[in-house]
């Protein structure tokens, strides 16, 4: 590969389900690498396995990519110089390349039924041998092949795998050797199925390993960054690159992600759709930041020069991730998906992002929450008020989805005194604080600003000779009926004088009732 060629990388999902976190990580690594080097990210849909791929899955998957805010320069939707970017629309291209291999004798028709291959495979595995194709159809005379095909017999096409070892210089794993004899002649197209298109006369659907090489080469990929689970495919792909005389890209096989139980990530131990995390109230910024650090870390010397705006070494905003990212930071050892770390990171992002951003991301959670008083209460408030409320609540909450419940405190002006709150006031002999607060608010000028309320708190403290918790807890109880909750100096300006008063009066009444 020419080291000066502009970087071209790709994310090539098969649309067989939602976009999973492992997929997001692969997408991200490619995205960061492209952005870092001013390159191009290609999004290619690998849908030749028509039994598993659906347009609905493709729609969801592309939708998820957009929702995460990751944009590819070339894609099925956007098009580009190498369109189409959906493999099912590229079948004639594959057909031509299959024919080329057939014509040069590098591939041949194979009539072996799939069941027979499966049986032979089983038998080899039982004997502890690597199952490789036994060559039944490798040397059939051409007239026999033609006769069988004209008689309507269906055949897959096998690539004649050279019997030699292959070396790969992987950007993550270093030198990887694929030993001779471990890869037998492999299918590049399946036997034509009645319900499927033929990509050439008598040529069935091409398989992943074949389409991937043709596309990566024709689309000019300079780097192939993908999961280590594809390493065994790479042996076959190297053979195809060689057979066509295509230039090799740089391969970078990233370490797998393990679940919290150190097993391969699965639905049970933490692998879920990216969409699930967003729906649970995680911020995409936190999710992307977290996933980048799964199997990647800045190199030591980079770490020293990094000055993250967040003040924390692992909390990097997207521009900082782009600046810091490089293939050399990809680790060989598997990474463990640590949900607690994601939660922690999300809580940091809840505080770090602009209040307006948090408010707009939180809005759908308020709209669909199961709290009628909150939904009702929000109808009468301005956007500015909503942003200020979210800004106040977000500092104490780790997820967007926590905010509607936390906001309940703003929507009930006759709060019920909790048992804990009553106890705190009674045991602390704090009834005078409540009374003093009522008097002070009664005579306060409108609007009650944060500064005005701070002055009131201070004055009550001096007057009654109380400070710290002994002052703030009864004040919160007086205004909310609760011991825990947001900072009152910020909440009161949002409530306003008359709502604050009606709350204090309601609480006072309950305090006096036995």
Helix or strand or coil: residue 442? helix
332 is annotated as an active-site residue: no
Tell me the closest approach of the beta carbon of residue 370 to ligand GLU, in angstroms.
37
267, 351, 368, 509: which one is catalytic? 267
Helix or strand or coil: residue 377? helix
Buried b / exposed e along 41-68 (16+ C-beta atoms within 10 A): bbbbbbbbbeeebeeebbebbbebbeeb
Number of H helices, E strands in the chain: 22, 11
Q: Which residues contact 187 (CB under 8 A, 6 or more apart)?
A: 110, 156, 157, 158, 159, 207
Could you say which of 19, 212, 460, 492 contacts ligand GLU (CB under 6 A)? 212
Tell me the closest approach of the beta carbon of residue 227 to ligand GLU, in angstroms.
7
Q: Are 137 and 144 in contact (CB under 8 A)?
A: no
**Which residues between 304 and 333 bind ligand GLU (CB under 6 A)?**
none
196: number of Cβ within 10 Å: 15
Binding mask 143-162 for ligand GLU (x = CB under 6 A): --------------------
Q: What is the gyration radius of the CA atoms in the chain, in angstroms?
A: 32
* Angstrom distances, CA of residue 21 to CA of 79, 141, 213, 317, 363: 26, 49, 25, 19, 24
Q: Which residue has the tokens 């291209």?
A: 93
Could you say which of 13, 192, 398, 493 contacts ligand GLU (CB under 6 A)? 13
Give the C-alpha separation, 294 to 338, whole Å: 9
Minimum CB distance to ligand GLU smaller for 51 or for 138:
51
Could you say which of 31, 43, 46, 188 contacts ligand GLU (CB under 6 A)? 46
Minimum CB distance to ligand GLU smaller for 212 or for 238:
212
Q: Are 440 and 459 in contact (CB under 8 A)?
A: yes
Q: Does 226 bind ligand GLU (CB under 6 A)?
A: yes
Tell me the closest approach of the beta carbon of residue 206 to ligand GLU, in angstroms.
13
Span of 8-16, 108-116, 393-401, 450-458 interacting with ligand GLU by CB under 6 A: 8-16
- For residue 439, the surrounding DSSP H or E stretch is helix 431-442
Q: Are 43 and 74 in contact (CB under 8 A)?
A: yes
Q: Does 12 bind ligand GLU (CB under 6 A)?
A: yes
Span of 7-15, 50-58, 336-344, 406-414 interacting with ligand GLU by CB under 6 A: 7-15
Span of 11-19, 147-155, 265-273, 454-462 interacting with ligand GLU by CB under 6 A: 11-19
Q: Does 86 bind ligand GLU (CB under 6 A)?
A: no
Minimum CB distance to ligand GLU smaller for 76 or for 486:
76
Tell me the closest approach of the beta carbon of residue 15 to ligand GLU, in angstroms.
9
Tell me the closest approach of the beta carbon of residue 337 to ligand GLU, in angstroms.
18
Any idea what the Cα angle at residue 384 is, between residues 382 and 386, rounded to 5°? 70
**Which residues between 172 and 211 bind ligand GLU (CB under 6 A)?**
208
Q: Could you tell me how many residues of this chain bind ligand GLU (CB under 6 A)?
A: 8
Binding mask 230-249 for ligand GLU (x = CB under 6 A): x-------------------
Which of 336, 256, 261, 325 lies closest to 289, judged by CA?
Answer: 325
Query: Which residues would be at the binding site for ligand GLU (CB under 6 A)?
Result: 12-14, 46, 208, 212, 226, 230
Q: Which residues are catalytic?
A: 267
């Amino acid at each position: 590969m020419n080291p000066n060629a502009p970087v071209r990388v790709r994310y090539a999902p098969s649309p067989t389900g939602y976009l999973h976190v492992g997929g997001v990580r692969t997408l991200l690594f490619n995205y960061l690498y492209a952005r870092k080097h001013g390159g191009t990210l290609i999004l290619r849909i690998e849908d030749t396995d028509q039994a598993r791929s659906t347009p609905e899955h493709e729609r969801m998957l592309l939708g998820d990519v957009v929702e995460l805010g990751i944009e590819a320069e070339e894609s099925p939707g956007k098009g580009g110089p190498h369109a189409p970017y959906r493999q099912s629309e590229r079948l004639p291209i594959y057909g031509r390349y299959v024919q080329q291999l057939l014509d040069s004798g590098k591939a041949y028709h194979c009539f072996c039924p799939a069941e027979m291959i499966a049986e032979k495979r089983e038998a080899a595995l039982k004997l502890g041998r690597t199952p490789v194709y036994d060559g039944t159809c490798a040397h059939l005379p051409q007239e026999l092949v033609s006769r069988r095909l004209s008689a309507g017999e269906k055949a897959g096409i096998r690539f004649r795998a050279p019997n030699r070892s292959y070396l790969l210089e992987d950007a993550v794993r270093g030198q990887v050797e694929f030993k001779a004899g471990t890869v037998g002649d492999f299918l590049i197209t399946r036997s034509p199925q009645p319900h499927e298109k033929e990509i050439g006369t008598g040529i069935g659907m091409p398989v992943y390993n074949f389409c991937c090489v043709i596309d990566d080469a024709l689309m000019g990929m300079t780097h192939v960054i993908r999961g280590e689970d594809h390493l065994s495919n790479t042996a076959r792909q190297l053979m195809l690159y060689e057979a066509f005389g295509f230039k090799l890209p740089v391969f970078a096989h990233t370490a797998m992600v393990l679940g919290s139980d150190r097993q391969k990530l699965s639905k049970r131990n933490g692998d879920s759709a990216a969409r699930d995390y967003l729906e649970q109230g995680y911020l995409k910024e936190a999710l992307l930041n977290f996933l980048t650090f799964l199997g990647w870390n800045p190199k030591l010397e980079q770490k020293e020069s990094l000055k993250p705006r967040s003040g924390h070494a692992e909390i990097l905003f997207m521009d900082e991730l782009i600046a810091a990212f490089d293939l050399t930071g990809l680790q060989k050892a598997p990474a463990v998906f640590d949900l607690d770390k994601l939660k922690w990171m999300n809580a940091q992002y809840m505080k770090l992002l602009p209040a307006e951003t948090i408010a707009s991301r939180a809005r759908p959670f308020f709209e669909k929450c199961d709290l009628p008083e909150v939904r009702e209460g929000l109808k009468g408030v301005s956007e500015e008020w909503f942003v200020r409320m979210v800004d106040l609540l977000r500092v104490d909450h780790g997820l967007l989805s926590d905010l509607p419940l936390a906001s309940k405190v703003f929507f009930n002006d006759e709060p019920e005194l909790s048992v804990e709150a009553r106890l705190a006031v009674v045991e602390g002999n704090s009834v005078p604080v409540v009374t003093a607060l009522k008097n002070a608010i009664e005579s306060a000028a409108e609007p009650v600003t944060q500064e005005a309320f701070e002055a009131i708190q201070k004055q009550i403290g001096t007057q009654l000779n109380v400070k710290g918790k002994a002052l703030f807890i009864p004040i919160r109880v007086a205004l909310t009926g609760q011991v825990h909750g947001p900072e009152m100096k910020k909440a009161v300006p949002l409530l306003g004088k008359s709502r604050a008063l009606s709350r204090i009066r309601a609480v006072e009444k309950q305090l006096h009732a036995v």
